Structure formats: structure tokens, C-alpha cells
Structure 1
């Protein structure tokens, strides 16, 4: 009953690969820092160029502390899902267009403010918080940074779905180790 963290990416053929994994005691900034520091040590201190995650604050803060040079992108799929639950229907479509818009920072700012006014969301705290993180999700601010075409954590989600076929929520450590190897083989 411990969280399993899988560090995944893609290789030069755009195939999903697992760089590492860890069973962790909790999902705090310090634990994620340990995972990332251990990963970097295994990678001979070669820092990541870019990272895509959901909006988890502990992970975001750990990335900022351990690999500050990495460009951090928030998962587009998670953002769009959260937009649906935190705003109105009209905003959802317009947000997707604005998020993916390739334009200057100034044009993004202009369009964003028009969008917020159009949907009367000036006082929506979730929208205010989202805007403050715009450099992590808006294409206008991510242009020129390498993400290998990735905008979401979809590959990690696919790995999690595959892992659930081999692993169970309340599994003891010994059976976990026996079933994790076939999972890795399936991914490879």
C-alpha cells in the first residue's frame, strides 16, 4: 500500500521507456526530492531537459529544488479535465484554443484577459491560480523547449494501466517483486 513512482520518458524512436521506479512511503516534497536525487545519481548527474507532470505541488517543488534547469510542463489532459470542473462550459473550448496558441507572450496575455472577461471569470480563484502558472502550460511560453511532442502524462497513465494488470493495491513486497519483472518485460 505504498505509492509506486515510475519515471518514464521516450527514446529516439518515440517509444516509451522506463528510466526508473520507486516504492515510496509518502508523497511529500522530501520523498520526491530523494527519488529525483537518486535518479540523477544513477544517470551520472545528467539532468533532465524537460518534465511533464500533473499539478502535484510536492512533485513540482521537488523538481524545482533538484533539477531547476529542467523545463516543467503541466499535463494538458489534466488541465483540460480540471477546467471542466472549475469553470463554465463556454470557457472550456476557448481555453483549449488559447493553451495551444503559438503566439508571442504579449498576444497570449491579450487573448487570456479577453477570454477571462468574456466568460466572467475574473474572480474565479482557480482561474487566477491557473494563470499564475501559465509558463508551465501555455504553448506561447513553452515554444522552443524540447518536450519530444509530449503535452500530457498519457504515456505514464498507459504505464499505470498496464501495471494494474500485474500489480494489486494491497500486495506484499515479495509478490510485488515477482510480478513487477513481467510488467517491465511487457513494457520493454
Structure 2
């Protein structure tokens, strides 16, 4: 069977690609709001910080590294972790175009972190910027603003960490 969006790539080949190991961070401010940032390469998409786990790197170390690289924040602490890894598959039109075509999607471990500083700590240009704007969001805003193929994963994450959010 051939996949129409990628001539010559059959579905079994795509299914055999591995998932990219990744950490995701739900950064929560003292008001119970969630940090989200707008992707500079996809302006209609807002997401929480996340990124690859380096070979041999512990999940917690990756979470602190990615948080600092993407937001400039280093004044945070881990509150909780997902009880299991979550996965998502890329849409077919993105397979082969991101991550060097080596992965079918991501296998993520999500952590909830408290932001113990203030908004002045946030610096999107601190490292190689992936984002061009940020805000503190409600869970509803997070789900409304994430790209559709990640919405199911984000729903699970937000359900897991809901005791940490202010429900208004």
C-alpha cells in the first residue's frame, strides 16, 4: 500500500520508524496559569515547552535544560510527572520533513513545574528562539491553541495535572 502524500513511502515503513524521546514541561505560575508560547515557524500554533532528550540524559535534567533553553527560566521546581510516556504520530505530510525524517512522532514524558520566579525571568531569545510570543494560559486556551494532531496528548496531560491549575 502506498501513502498518497509521500510517493514511494509505504505505510509499513512509516509505522516502523521510532518515536523521538522527548520531555515536555507544564510550567505553572503562582496563579495556576500555564506557560504557552507561539511557535515562530507556525504562528497559529501555541504550545508548552518541549524538546528532545539527549542520549544518556535523565528526564529531569532534560526538563530543566529544555525549560531554560526555550524560556530562559531557571527558577522552577518539579511538582509532578506523568505516570507513563505518551506518544503522538506526526501527520503524514510532516513525516520525512522534521527531525531528519528519522521519527514517526514523539514519545514524551511530561513534568509539571512550578515557576518560582516572576515574569522578568522569561526570555524567549535566551537560546535559539523557537517562539516569538508567550502568555499565561488557562487549560481551555492551551487546548484551543495547540495543533490538532497534539490535542489528544495535551488533553491527557492537562487532565493529569489539573489539580495544579486555577479553574475559573
Q: Report if TM-score (shorter chain) is over 0.5.
A: no
**Structure with the largest fraction of helix:** 1
Determine which structure has greater relative contact order: mean sequence separation of CA pairs < 8 Å that are 6+ residues apart, divided by chain length. Answer: 2
**Structure with the largest fraction of strand:** 2
Which TM-score bucket, shorter chain as reference?
A: under 0.3
Q: Give the TM-score normalised by the residue count of structure 2.
A: 0.26
